[in-house]
Amino acid sequence: MSSNARCLVVGEIAQAHDGSLGFAHAFIDAVANSGADAVKFQTHIAAAESSPAEPWRVKFSYQDATRYDYWKRMEFTPDQWAGLKQHASDRGLLFLSTPFSIEAAELLHRIGVHAWKIASGEVNNHQLFQYILATGQPVWLSTGMSGFREIDSAASRVLSRNVPLTVFQCTSAYPCPPEKVGLNVLREIRERYGCGAGLSDHSGTIYPGLAAAALGLDVLEVHVTLSREMFGPDVPASITTAELRQLVDGIRFIEKMQAHPVDKNQMAAEMEGMRKLFLKSIAVRADLPAGAVLTEAHLTMKKPGTGIAADRLAEIVGRKLARSITAGAFLAESDLEPAAVRAA
């Protein structure tokens, strides 16, 4: 991304809605109010992507006996997904949702998504890749559990079809500690694949997003929660919607700074009036008679900088006074004998 480009900021809802359609719609409004550009969900169809044998990564649910039961509870109907897409569009947000099965991708393709986000666990799902690439829509590739050999394979598959690609640096740790965020990978992504670079941040803070924006970033995806007291596995890796507002404002501030390089000479000229207020002029410490030879002990520096500039001290020392001057007065050229008449 060039210094003048605009980073696309995505509020990732994932499972933060906890299966509640009302909460899902509330998140769309909250993300829109934050100033973000897009909202993203995850589309789960339990029977298509999982089985009762799937183990818990972390057993967090009080109401779901199995991970499969949890995915089932996260499902929305096609009409409900269409309603979420319409709500996002009405609020000026791009709509995305990560599919975890071909069936989910088919559902999303019918209602329309801005791009396809391929999750870290789907990088080797060739059937899903094949379906997604056939649509010709942009692909956002997550790399949270992949090394470069696997990323190379996935990226080449996308690029060989001339499909727009953004590769996301992320680390599948929830929350992700700072030493594992991997901002250095963003540059390598651009150089290695010649494509857009994104960051999928799981730190639960706004700091990686701000730092990445300063380095240059095409897309930033952050998990969002309405409150840190909400239920769900994503909360520890999420920022609040109020923090999302701070993050968006910070990124836009950074982008404006990068788009306006400063010419120090021009800036100094524009600050001339301010300089006179803050710089200092040469003044005398005590009453001095005409003919006195000025020493450094006679002189001091005081604001404003409208008289003889402080940096001329060396050339003033040794000059004779043409007339008497009172303590505290600013020295003027008219107070001095001509420079050619100096004390030996």
Q: What is the mean pLDDT of residues 187-198?
A: 97
- Residue identified by tokens 């003889």 is 308
Q: Does one domain contain both 157 and 304? A: no
Query: Is the per-residue pLDDT at 257 higher than 80?
Result: yes
Q: What is the mean pLDDT of residues 11-26?
A: 96
For residue 2, tell me if it sits in a domain.
no
Q: What is the mean pLDDT of residues 16-27?
A: 96
Instruction: Give the pLDDT confidence of 104-126 residue by residue, as tens digits.
Output: 999 999 999 999 999 998 998 99
Q: Does one domain contain both 67 and 117? A: yes
Q: What is the pLDDT of residue 200?
A: 97
Is the Cβ–Cβ distance between 52 and 25 less than 8 Å?
no
Separation CA 47–CA 247 (nearest Å): 37
Q: What is the pLDDT of residue 1?
A: 45
Query: Is the per-residue pLDDT at 38 higher than 90?
Result: yes
Which residue did the predictor score with more confidence, 284 or 342? Answer: 284
Q: Does one domain contain both 243 and 298? A: no
Q: What is the pLDDT of residue 340?
A: 64
Where among 208, 231, 259 does a domain terminate? 259
Query: Is the per-residue pLDDT at 183 higher than 70?
Result: yes
Q: What is the pLDDT of residue 179?
A: 97
Assign 5 a pLDDT band (cuts: 50, 70, 90): confident
For residue 50, tell me if it sits in a domain.
yes
Helix H, strand E, coil C: the string for 12-55 is EEECCCCCCHHHHHHHHHHHHHHCCCEEEEEECCHHHHCCCCCC
Q: Does one domain contain both 17 and 50? A: yes
Q: What is the mean pLDDT of residues 78-83?
A: 98
| Nearest in space to 321 (alpha carbons), one of 281, 286, 293, 282 | 293
For 60, residues 6+ apart whose C-beta sits below 8 A from its C-beta are: 232, 233
For residue 94, tell me if it sits in a domain.
yes
Q: Does one domain contain both 170 and 81? A: yes
% of the chain with per-residue pLDDT over 90: 84
Tokens representing 38 are 């897009």
Q: Does one domain contain both 253 and 321? A: no
Separation CA 1–CA 189 (nearest Å): 12
Q: What is the pLDDT of residue 3?
A: 45
For residue 3, tell me if it sits in a domain.
no
For residue 341, tell me if it sits in a domain.
no
Q: Does one domain contain both 283 and 216? A: no
Q: What is the pLDDT of residue 344?
A: 47
Query: Is the per-residue pLDDT at 103 higher than 70?
Result: yes
Look up the pTM and report it: 0.85
Which residues span the domain enclosing 28?
8-259
Q: What is the pLDDT of residue 55?
A: 85
Instruction: Give the pLDDT confidence of 221-232 residue by residue, as tens digits.
Output: 999 999 998 888
For residue 343, tell me if it sits in a domain.
no
Question: What type of residue sits at position 116?
Answer: W
Q: Does one domain contain both 255 and 277? A: no
- Looking up residue 20, the CATH number of its domain turns out to be 3.20.20.70
Q: Does one domain contain both 178 and 63? A: yes
Where among 219, 237, 259 does a domain terminate? 259
Assign 4 a pLDDT band (cuts: 50, 70, 90): low
Burial of 77 (0-12, 13-18, 19+ CB in 10 A): exposed
Q: What is the mean pLDDT of residues 293-308?
A: 95
Q: What is the mean pLDDT of residues 66-86?
A: 95
% of the chain with per-residue pLDDT over 70: 97
Q: What is the mean pLDDT of the chain?
A: 93
Q: What is the pLDDT of residue 54?
A: 86
94: part of which helix (H) or strand (E)? strand 94-99
Query: Is the per-residue pLDDT at 25 higher than 60?
Result: yes
In Å, what is the CA distance from 181 to each residue of 144, 161, 300?
A: 10, 30, 54
Q: What is the mean pLDDT of residues 174-180?
A: 95
Query: Is the per-residue pLDDT at 68 higher than 80?
Result: yes
Q: Does one domain contain both 212 and 296? A: no
Separation CA 33–CA 67 (nearest Å): 33
Q: How many domains does the chain have?
A: 2
Q: Does one domain contain both 187 and 327? A: no
Assign 61 a pLDDT band (cuts: 50, 70, 90): confident
Q: Does one domain contain both 150 and 93? A: yes
